[in-house]
Amino acid sequence: MLGAGSMFTPELAKDLFLIPDTALPVLAAKGAVFAASRIAGIEGVPQPPIAQLAADAAEAEASFLTTISLSKRARVGRVRPGG
Distance CA 32, CA 71 (A): 27
Please state the length of the chain: 83
Q: Where are the domains of the chain?
A: 18-72
Residue-level pLDDT at 1: 44
DSSP code of 4?
A: T
List C-alpha distances in Å: 28 to 34, 47, 61, 73: 10, 18, 11, 24
| pLDDT per residue of the chain (83 residues) written in tens, 0 to 9 | 444 555 656 665 566 677 888 899 999 999 999 999 999 889 999 999 999 999 999 999 999 999 888 876 656 667 777 65
